Structure 1
Amino acid sequence: MIFSEFSKRISTALIAIILLAIVVSFAGLVHNIDQKNINELNSDFTINSSYYIDKTNNTDLNNILSNTDFIASKLNNIPYALAQQSYWIKLFLHYPIDKTSITTSAQKSFIQGSGNKQLILMAEHSMLDTFIVYQLNALTAPEKIYQKRAKSKELSQNIYPYARLQLNQFGHSEYLIKVKNSGPPNIPLLLFTPQDFEQRVLLSQLIYGAFIGILLIMAIYNLVLFFADKDKVYLLYIGYLLSAFALLSSLTGYGYFLFSDQVMQLLNKYIIFTHFLLIIFLLLFTLYFLRYDRLKHWAYKYSLIFTIVISSLGLYSLSLDELTQAKLFFSLQPLFYIVVLFLILNRLKRDFLWARFYFLSWLPLLAGAIIQPLVLLNQLEYSFLTGNAFLFAIMIEVTFMAFALAERIRRNEQEKLTMVAYHQSNHLPRQTNLDHKISQLIAEGKQNFTVIVIKPEQFHRIELYINEQICIQFFQKVYLKLSSLFRFNDAVLNITEQFEKLCYLENSSLAIVIDNSLNEQDIALFINSIQQAVRDVFYIKDLKLPLSAYVGLAKFSAHDSSSTSMINNASIAANKAELTQNKWTYFTQKDNQSSPSSIQLAIDLQQAITTQGFELFHQPQIDLKTNKVCGSECLIRWHHPTLGHVSPDIFIPVAEDFGLIPSLTLWVVETALSQQAALTQNTGLNHMVSINISGKDLIQANFIDDITKIINRSDIKAEKIIFELTESVSFAQNNIAIETIESLIKLGITISLDDFGTGYASMSQINQLPFQELKIDREFVENVCSNNKRKVIAEAAVKMAKGLGLEVVAEGINSSLDEETLRCFGCDIGQGYYYAKPMSYERYLSWLNHLSNGQIPASLEGEYIPAPLKDAN
């Protein structure tokens, strides 16, 4: 690890040194280019010049020669302006002719040879309309030695127009120059020896070639990124690169190397519009690169409006003359930089690491964007560096942008991993981290470890009364508290690269994994410390609650050797811990058999409904006045193909949670009525059938229609049907449920309130609800005489129900004493093991056939009379 880190540092240092050497060499190259320009400081030449501004653009040569209004000025200090006018410049060169006084390489270059001494006069401006050079001689008429033509055979003349100046043997030469431009006003005039001029041209071409190469590489790179990621930010950057390329090709004239004269004329004509395109693409790229569209920041909307305004002005500028276009653009440029700098600095303030390279890329870009216009507008002295400042700035900016894009890609990947590894709401590690750690332990052959699920006590009830933000804050506090508790405990294993040890599960709980071989602490003390830590932070809206946590543990087992099953097992154990005194327990295989995976169980349930994989059991109900069987309660049973018998207490909640209860209920109703019809035909008994109905059935849109259709198909009278509704769900506050109950009663169905005494309904609610029958829960009926409180409650419930005009059913009668006691209370119907356990339809049919006229032994006089319809009001 140490060697790897050392190698990384050495490699980084070497790369930095190489890059620094390249930068230094490049700076030296640029400096040497400027040194090749002949001036009075680096040669023995004396250079004098003067100028005259021809605002009419039509003054002829003779008038100019006789004009005395020329103003003395240094050659490159002539006040060029953004206007339609011509400039006449007189150039006087004085130079020594004595070879012994030659001291400079420039003089040596032109003095050598056959006596034909030349200098090159170059106009550093590819967009000149007029560039004419005359050689003046006192004895003869002015001789035109050069005139720029629209289509020059020599390609370099289009890029950097130049004239060859013949130097006479007298030590002084005079020239008259006429220039007029259609682009930027500044027209640098430079003097070179022929050899230095060739080197200058070659170096310029090399730099421009490097510029094209960098832009081409970046354009292809961004195009590949776009096809890979489909992010429009890469297309915007390509648009910016192409705009910069078109602009600089026109400004520098280097485009003549690549394009035809016609194309270059178009680029020159629309150069200001290209400026507009450049800033439009740059502004849009800035917005999307810095993700203002995702931040939903107010600046995003207003920046888009500003972009639309600039685009409209750019299109409008096409109808203007070139001078007005330039003035319009340069007046908008400062505002553009203000907007972009605000966007960058605002993002930089929020996240330096995210925006740092993009910020650095703007430093040279801003410098170049400020320097070059000042040079072009003749506000700053020309040099090769300042004259090409924007080109250099783009090259440096693109280099930094490569780092910025790489950083952006890295952050994108990091965010994707973060989305997978962390919850976006509470920013806590996801279960996937724990899955990966457990899978890693299993792959390494380690088996002595335990998964622990920590479930805050009663939180699923408390969260109904608090908002989501408080829930998030609570789990973040618990997470921090437990993290500090486990920080120095090596037995609790890290599950992320950031050395985090806990993850958040979707069922509002936390989980860890411990290496049992490293755990030196007693497990009871370890879990007690967890519960105490949770208790310390159990504040809900500043309310300190005396609650801790349920803790479930699942050891590695060959039967459940996957990460998912171990976490599920620990969660099952945490749920089971709610019923224990110390609030923690281990998972056992018995728990797995009684609590299978809910999702898999739902899948099996759905298949069982389709294939009729359930069975109905019947438990008889006895009229306590006649001892006759007056009905039966239908109870659903499921024998799972692999799990065996699955209790309704397990699969009914699953059916409700996964929306399967409506289909299951309709199957029960149709099967019960079908069996009821067959029973009546086989036994001659025409008794009642009781069917359990879920509260969720009552709010189904087509429930009444479906029940009506089933009744009509079965040929069973609705008056012979009882629907038992559990009291564990309060219907009094649900208007739809009440309307459904009333509709069922209108059909003739008897509605029974099941499990009375164990739910939430109050006496007043029972009086308001349209029930016709009340069923006392077995808790108050079994061994009713063995407990005086139970007996008082049972008697009060029966008398209350009879007082309200309800039929009363007592379930859980297990002895003759229970039967006799309930009969004395005035109970109408009995049900329990004393008469018969729930049995299959075939066994129930056989059981009935063994009765005498449907009557059990020790009968009394009387008969079962259904309760009258109760007024819901």
Structure 2
Amino acid sequence: MIFPELSKKISTAIIALILFAITLSFVSLVNDIDQKNIDEFNSPFTINSSYFIDKSNNADINEVLTSAQFIESNINSIPYALAEQSYWIKLSLHYPIGKSLLSVNIQERRAYENEHLVLMAEHSMLDSFIVYELGAIKAPTILFDKSLTDLEVSQNVYPAVNLELNQFGYSEYLIKLKSSGPPNIPLQLFKPDDFEQRLLLSQLIYGAFIGILLIIAIYNLVLFFAGKDKVYLLYIGYLISAFAVLSSLTGYGYFLFSEQVMHLLNQYLIFNDFLLIIFLLLFTLFFLRYDRLNHWAYKVCIGFVAIISLLALYSLSLDELAQTKLFFSIQPLFYIVALYLIFNRLKQDFSWARFYFLSWLPLFVGAIIQPMVLLNQLEYSFLTGHAFLFAIMIEVTFMAFALAERIRRSEQEKLTMIAYHQSNHLPRQTNLEHKINEILKDDIQDFTVIVIKPEQFQRIELYIDEQTRVKFIQDLNQKLSSLFRFNDAVLHTTDQLEKLCYLENCSLAMVINNVDNEQNIELFIHSIQQAVQDVYSIKNLKLPLSAFVGLATYPEHGSSSASLISNASIAASNAETSQSKWTYYAQKDSENSPSSIQLAIDLEQAITHKGFELFHQPQIDLKTNKVCSSECLIRWNHPVLGAIYPDVFIAIAEDFGLMPSLTLWVVETALTQQARLTEHTGLNHMVSINISGKDLIQANFIDDVAGIISRCDIKAEKIIFELTESISFAQNNIAINTIEKLIELGITISIDDFGTGYSSLSQINQLPFQELKIDREFVEDVCSDIKRKVIAETAVKMAKGLGLEVVAEGINSALDEETLRSFGCDIGQGYFYAKPMSYDDYLEWLNNLTNGQIPKSLDGEFIPVDK
């Protein structure tokens, strides 16, 4: 383990040394090139120069020689300015006779006839570059005219002329210069060999520049096709713009393109400069992901880019001088905006932006130095004259690291999204599953999965906002993590040594190695519950709540990660009924608690394939003792689980949105059976059907009910809808409107289970009910319980006073019946008459009656058929 790490460090150090040596050699070479420029300090030449500025641009050589007033100045200190004007420069060279001026060894003698210098204008965008040789006797002779000469490629990059040295020791020249680009035009003298070396170095640098840009562009194109992230296209746009600008500024583009193409690049140089900063600003914006941060700077920068784009288009209508001034007035503002974006991101996360920050350092330095050189504000050298090109080369190198870091960061974020919840940033269940799988591979035979479920939290979170909910879970995780920090029995589940994972049901889970656990399990669980209780503070309200804890041990309670976690969760739910609030998983738990999702699937299939059955319980008119109606009760006999209570599957139907379909099935089945019952028995009974308050707010409920009534050919007046609801709908305008429309159809509306839950006086006061049904809780054994008797009697008399018909369910004896009849109750229902029975049994039961009337036994009590 140590050797590979040491080898990695040594390799890195060697590569760093090699790169440093190459950089040092390159700097030395560039510095040596600058030293080869001939001046009075490194040669026996005496160089005198003076200049004249022709602001009219139309003076000829004769006017200049006869009337122009020349100002003495160093040849590279001429005040070039950003203006439409020409420059005339007198250059005189004095050199001693009889001695070689250019030899490496100054003492060696050569013949002067073969000696010459090269005068180079370091500018590729010259409109005029004419060199005249002046003589005392003969007229000025043109040695070089850029506009008249069929130039070689290198002459377009570095316009140059050979200056022959004569035997008199004195030469004088007149130079006319005019630039269509940046104003500064450095003039330099070289020995021929040094000049060729200068050209070769320039070509090598430009070749390296093209190579780097090409590699980075292809690299970014591959990244774009791989990830479809537009940031890579923006960077390619930036590289292309930088290439166009530098090819034009340096003239190196002549090595690749024709003169026509270069003419276009030179013509649109400033427009390309605008494109360069547009692409760079957009790249900065998206690279640093301001579009995802919902930061105000994103919209501001997009607006700024739009303004720059308009200015770029506007610049096309201006002359070159106005274009240049416009661009350089915008450039400082661009750097201020870009630097703000970078430093603001650095302040938030340095590791994310460090390479991008480093890439801007050379770019910023180069972008300051080269314009100052071009505008004649800084002394020219090979390094300063090509500062922006070198800056771009260094910048794209650092940017390659920045992009690689961005890819690594993106991959890390994807892994984080998989491994951590985005809301609370806690490890997901997948981490726990992975850890358990590792334990199983390591053949550890004794470990336990523990699920910690905060008590009543799922109810409490209905009253708190998301931020408070997240903070509670995070605080709980931190408290428990501190509790287990030094407990080696609690195993790490992530690479960050985290021990707890968050489950989707607002629970936390962990795994302990029972072999290493020296603490008694009861004390261990008690410490968890105490820690949870310490954290249970919601909006400054300290709650006396702890946690339900479920445990599942391998292999007794499961052989896979999924089964162990699931069974521990079931155990945590079952711990709600335990006095200690914790329990181990028991096999019967899963048998008695089938999966809600599976039940919902089975329930949906039962609705589709009519897998339910309606039972009828008769209702008796207490005045005539005749059957007047029946309540339809749904039953489900599951093909595997057997009979499932309505309380179970009705709740699932509501949770999974199946209740509307189930209700319509009940209504249609009940009315179909009622129509058949009327046809077969001739009895003109009513039918009572339970509907939920949620049914009342369904968009098409009225239309669906009306359609069923029409299809079944039954009168709406024979239908009673008993409204049962776990929550109040009295304040719901849609529900009230639906009830009123049902009444308009002729349907009787009954309030069910009066006296319990929300079925109270407030409902009667606000809703247009026609019938009230007293809950069995106040009817059963009404004679033997004085409180029930008072409540039942009060309810009946109150309802009668309001003009409502009263139904009492839960009548189980003749005494109950007689008591309710004495109160004035209209209808009775209960086991005293009959239990709920299937439709066929109900028909048979009715046929055994005489004229639909309930018979009286000798002892005054009717014994119902046991169905």
Separation in structure 1 between the aligned mates of residue 105 and residue 363 of structure 2, nearest angstrom: 35
> How many percent of aligned residue pairs carry the same amino acid?
76
- CA change 1:776–1:614 in 2 (3 A) is same
2:104 aligned partner: 105
Range moving further from structure 2, 613-622 or 118-127 = 613-622
- CA change 1:784–1:438 in 2 (3 A) is farther
- The CA deviation string for residues 631-670 of structure 1, in whole angstroms up to 9 with x for no partner, is 4332222233443333322221121122211110010111
- CA change 1:559–1:514 in 2 (3 A) is closer
Aligned residues: 860
1:16 aligns with 2:39: no
Kept in 1, the 8 Å contact 2:113–2:166? The answer is no
1:500 aligns with 2:479: no
SS at match of 1:464: helix
Range moving further from structure 2, 57-66 or 597-606 = 57-66
Separation in structure 2 between the aligned mates of residue 533 and residue 152 of structure 1, nearest angstrom: 89
1:869 aligned partner: none
Q: How does 1:221-240 map onto structure 2 within 5 Å?
A: 221-240=219-238
Amino acid in the other structure paired with 2:238: Y
Q: How does 1:42-121 map onto structure 2 within 5 Å?
A: 42-66=42-66, 69-96=69-96, 105=104, 116-121=114-119
1:38 aligns with 2:38: yes
- CA change 1:755–1:524 in 2 (3 A) is farther
Range moving further from structure 2, 85-94 or 271-280 = 85-94
Range moving further from structure 2, 147-156 or 316-325 = 147-156
How far residue 758 of structure 1 moved from its aligned partner, in angstroms, is 3.1
Question: Which residue, 374, 379, 382 being the options, matches 1:381?
Answer: 379
SS at match of 1:57: coil
How far residue 204 of structure 1 moved from its aligned partner, in angstroms, is 0.9
- The CA deviation string for residues 42-96 of structure 1, in whole angstroms up to 9 with x for no partner, is 3333333222333333444344445683333222122222223332323333445
Separation in structure 2 between the aligned mates of residue 356 and residue 554 of structure 1, nearest angstrom: 47
Question: Which residue, 695, 714, 717 being the options, matches 2:693?
Answer: 695
1:395 aligns with 2:390: no
SS at match of 2:463: coil
1:346 aligned partner: 344
- CA change 1:487–1:210 in 2 (3 A) is same
Kept in 1, the 8 Å contact 2:113–2:165? The answer is no
2:756 aligned partner: 758
- The CA deviation string for residues 754-810 of structure 1, in whole angstroms up to 9 with x for no partner, is 333331344344344333443343444455567665555555545554555544444
1:736 aligned partner: 734
Kept in 2, the 8 Å contact 1:626–1:859? The answer is no
How far residue 368 of structure 1 moved from its aligned partner, in angstroms, is 0.7
2:187 aligned partner: 189
Amino acid in the other structure paired with 1:738: I
Amino acid in the other structure paired with 1:51: Y
- CA change 1:438–1:846 in 2 (3 A) is farther
Kept in 2, the 8 Å contact 1:43–1:106? The answer is no
- The CA deviation string for residues 304-330 of structure 1, in whole angstroms up to 9 with x for no partner, is 232222222222222222222222222
- CA change 1:139–1:325 in 2 (3 A) is same
- The CA deviation string for residues 382-423 of structure 1, in whole angstroms up to 9 with x for no partner, is 100000001001111111111222222222223333333333
1:544 aligns with 2:542: yes
Amino acid in the other structure paired with 1:329: F
Normalised to the residue count of structure 2, the TM-score between the two structures is 0.91
- CA change 1:373–1:262 in 2 (3 A) is same
Normalised to the residue count of structure 1, the TM-score between the two structures is 0.90
- CA change 1:776–1:533 in 2 (3 A) is farther
Amino acid in the other structure paired with 1:194: P
- The CA deviation string for residues 424-450 of structure 1, in whole angstroms up to 9 with x for no partner, is 333333344344444555566666444
- The CA deviation string for residues 518-572 of structure 1, in whole angstroms up to 9 with x for no partner, is 4433333333222222221222221212222233344457996665555444444
Amino acid in the other structure paired with 1:30: V
How far residue 125 of structure 1 moved from its aligned partner, in angstroms, is 0.8
Q: How does 1:566-605 map onto structure 2 within 5 Å?
A: 566-605=564-603
Kept in 1, the 8 Å contact 2:241–2:275? The answer is yes
- CA change 1:373–1:693 in 2 (3 A) is same
Q: How does 1:762-781 map onto structure 2 within 5 Å?
A: 762-781=760-779
Range moving further from structure 2, 830-839 or 205-214 = 830-839
- The CA deviation string for residues 179-213 of structure 1, in whole angstroms up to 9 with x for no partner, is 22221111111122111111111111000100011
Q: How does 1:328-339 map onto structure 2 within 5 Å?
A: 328-339=326-337
1:270 aligns with 2:268: yes
- CA change 1:608–1:448 in 2 (3 A) is farther
- CA change 1:570–1:619 in 2 (3 A) is farther
Structure 1 portions without partners, runs of 5+: 863-873
Amino acid in the other structure paired with 1:42: N
- CA change 1:696–1:727 in 2 (3 A) is closer
SS at match of 1:105: coil
Separation in structure 2 between the aligned mates of residue 10 and residue 817 of structure 1, nearest angstrom: 100
Alignment root-mean-square deviation, CA: 3.2
SS at match of 1:87: strand
Range moving further from structure 2, 375-384 or 701-710 = 701-710
How far residue 597 of structure 1 moved from its aligned partner, in angstroms, is 2.9
- CA change 1:70–1:319 in 2 (3 A) is same
How far residue 220 of structure 1 moved from its aligned partner, in angstroms, is 1.4
Separation in structure 2 between the aligned mates of residue 108 and residue 253 of structure 1, nearest angstrom: 39
Kept in 1, the 8 Å contact 2:124–2:251? The answer is yes
1:871 aligned partner: none
- CA change 1:347–1:551 in 2 (3 A) is same
Kept in 1, the 8 Å contact 2:722–2:750? The answer is yes
Amino acid in the other structure paired with 1:158: N
Kept in 2, the 8 Å contact 1:51–1:72? The answer is yes
1:365 aligned partner: 363
Q: How does 1:609-620 map onto structure 2 within 5 Å?
A: 609-620=607-618
Separation in structure 1 between the aligned mates of residue 710 and residue 558 of structure 2, nearest angstrom: 50
Question: Which residue, 301, 304, 307 being the options, matches 1:306?
Answer: 304
Separation in structure 2 between the aligned mates of residue 857 and residue 521 of structure 1, nearest angstrom: 71
- CA change 1:799–1:517 in 2 (3 A) is farther
How far residue 484 of structure 1 moved from its aligned partner, in angstroms, is 1.6
- CA change 1:88–1:349 in 2 (3 A) is same
Amino acid in the other structure paired with 1:105: V
Q: How does 1:234-249 map onto structure 2 within 5 Å?
A: 234-249=232-247
- CA change 1:797–1:861 in 2 (3 A) is farther
Kept in 1, the 8 Å contact 2:753–2:759? The answer is no
How far residue 156 of structure 1 moved from its aligned partner, in angstroms, is 0.8
Q: How does 1:113-152 map onto structure 2 within 5 Å?
A: 116-138=114-136, 140-149=138-147, 152=150
Amino acid in the other structure paired with 1:180: K
Kept in 1, the 8 Å contact 2:91–2:172? The answer is yes
Structure 2 portions without partners, runs of 5+: 861-867
Question: Which residue, 648, 651, 658 being the options, matches 2:649?
Answer: 651
- CA change 1:432–1:813 in 2 (3 A) is farther
How far residue 332 of structure 1 moved from its aligned partner, in angstroms, is 2.2
Kept in 2, the 8 Å contact 1:550–1:584? The answer is yes
1:411 aligns with 2:422: no
Separation in structure 2 between the aligned mates of residue 583 and residue 408 of structure 1, nearest angstrom: 48
Separation in structure 2 between the aligned mates of residue 508 and residue 235 of structure 1, nearest angstrom: 42
- The CA deviation string for residues 137-172 of structure 1, in whole angstroms up to 9 with x for no partner, is 445444333222466342111110111122224444
How far residue 375 of structure 1 moved from its aligned partner, in angstroms, is 0.8
SS at match of 2:510: strand
How far residue 857 of structure 1 moved from its aligned partner, in angstroms, is 5.1
Amino acid in the other structure paired with 1:188: P
Kept in 1, the 8 Å contact 2:557–2:586? The answer is no
